[in-house]
Amino acid sequence: MIRIALDLMGGDKAPEEIKTGAFMYAEFLKKSKINNVKIHIVGLPEHVKDFESHPLREFFVIVPTRDFLPMDIKPTEALRRKESSMYVCSQMLKEKQVDAIVSAGNTGALLACATLVVGRIKGIERPALAVPVPSLKGFTVLIDAGANAEVKPEWLVQFAEMGIEYAKLLGIPDPKVGLLNVGTEENKGTEREKQAYALLKERYGARFHGNVEGSDINLGTVDVVVTDGFSGNIAMKTMEGVAKLISTIIKQEAKKSVDGILGALLFARTLKRLKKKLDPRSYGGTFFLGVDGLVIKAHGNSDRVAIKNALEVARRGVENQLVEKLRRSLGREVND
């Protein structure tokens, strides 16, 4: 049985959209005849009770909590509120009552709970958010996509390590790594990038492609782009903004002429596929790699679709034994 805890109270649109996302996922499981999943719904009693009477009750385990964390909570404060839905989820993962947790709550709070309640894989100082973003080659793993605003050069090497293993799990046999920087030359960036460059070169040799620029992320110049969580978050969110801008311009321009209207009609399927490929909701959730348990961070403003997808990301992560594989490979790498 795959057991996934869902933080019903985390996210800008919690609990309503989270709730509906869970119902949608249960329908998906039913329809797909997947019978080995239980979703543990963790939240305030007045919200979890909606699951009791649900027609798909069989898919849910109800876990009422007394507290929940607001979206602007500070990580230190999050660690003190042990009866919050997010903390309870983390505690359940730690105690192996569940196999994975999904939360759209505050990133810093989830990182703190994941790191300090669940714990880290040996050899990793800071867990990081790893996101496979669409690229000309298929996808590029961006790590850290927003967990650690400030990083040390050595952490960037650990991020590279996790990114490589994650890319391997996603089907790339021999992933190439690049360091996100403001130019491709060796001496670019701040002291942090210069030191990280030297460390990465020393550790990986030819596997390390050197510095890459923002444009390389979606061009797919390398398989893994390593960066601090500040730049990684800016890059991720910028992609969303550009995609939104482009789809809006296409719609507006199409309306300006008969050619455009006809073209847009005929082109509808292409544009739909494009949108799906770039829609941040289709990632659903991203893994906090480095945590000794499967923690999926869903986007803060996740709607029902994003939550449904995040739950599926969790299920696949458990099925593919992502954490076990990382633990093995990182353990091996760290001791070599």
CB of 46 or CB of 259, closer to its own copies: 259
Nearest to 189 by CA among 150, 227, 162: 227
198 binds its own copies (CB under 8 A): no
Backbone angle region of 290, left / alpha / beta, with phi > 0 → left and psi within -120 to 50 → alpha: left
Distances (CA, A) of 91 to 42, 94, 96, 292: 12, 5, 9, 12
Amino acid at 200: L
195 binds its own copies (CB under 8 A): no
- CB 7 within 8 Å of CB 42: yes
CA torsion sign, 147 to 153 to 158 to 159? positive
240 binds its own copies (CB under 8 A): yes
184: how many CB neighbours lie within 10 A of its CB?
A: 15
Q: b/e string for 241-251 if b means 16 or more Cβ within 10 A?
A: eebeeeeeebe
DSSP for 280-315? HHHH-EEEEETBSSEEEEEPTT--HHHHHHHHHHHH
CB of 270 or CB of 282, closer to its own copies: 270
Shortest reach from residue 79's CB to its own copies, in Å? 16
231 binds its own copies (CB under 8 A): yes
Q: How far apart are CA 160 and CA 178, in angstroms?
A: 9
Please give the distance of CA 171 from its chain centroid, rounded to a whole number: 18
Burial class (CB in 10 A: 0-12, 13-18, 19+), 257: exposed
**Which one of residues 107, 115, 158, 211 is an interface residue with its own copies (CB under 8 A)?**
107
**Which one of residues 64, 123, 153, 263 is an interface residue with its own copies (CB under 8 A)?**
263
Shortest reach from residue 133's CB to its own copies, in Å? 9
CB of 83 or CB of 150, closer to its own copies: 150
**Which one of residues 21, 134, 210, 290 is an interface residue with its own copies (CB under 8 A)?**
134
Only one of the segments 44-52, 58-66, 91-99, 248-256 lies at the binding site for its own copies (rule: CB under 8 A); that segment is 248-256
218 binds its own copies (CB under 8 A): yes
**Which one of residues 244, 321, 327, 333 is an interface residue with its own copies (CB under 8 A)?**
244
**Which one of residues 45, 182, 198, 316 is an interface residue with its own copies (CB under 8 A)?**
182
Shortest reach from residue 336's CB to its own copies, in Å? 32
45 binds its own copies (CB under 8 A): no
Shortest reach from residue 103's CB to its own copies, in Å? 15
CB of 251 or CB of 328, closer to its own copies: 251
85 binds its own copies (CB under 8 A): no
Q: How far apart are CA 251 and CA 162, in angstroms?
A: 40
Report residue 149: phi and psi, to 5°.
Answer: -65, -35
Shortest reach from residue 229's CB to its own copies, in Å? 7
**How many residues bind to its own copies according to rule CB under 8 A?**
67
- Binding residues for its own copies, rule: CB under 8 A, are 71-72, 74, 107, 134-136, 146, 149-150, 180, 182-183, 185-190, 213-219, 227, 229-231, 233-246, 248-250, 253-254, 256-257, 259-260, 262-270, 273-274, 277-278, 300
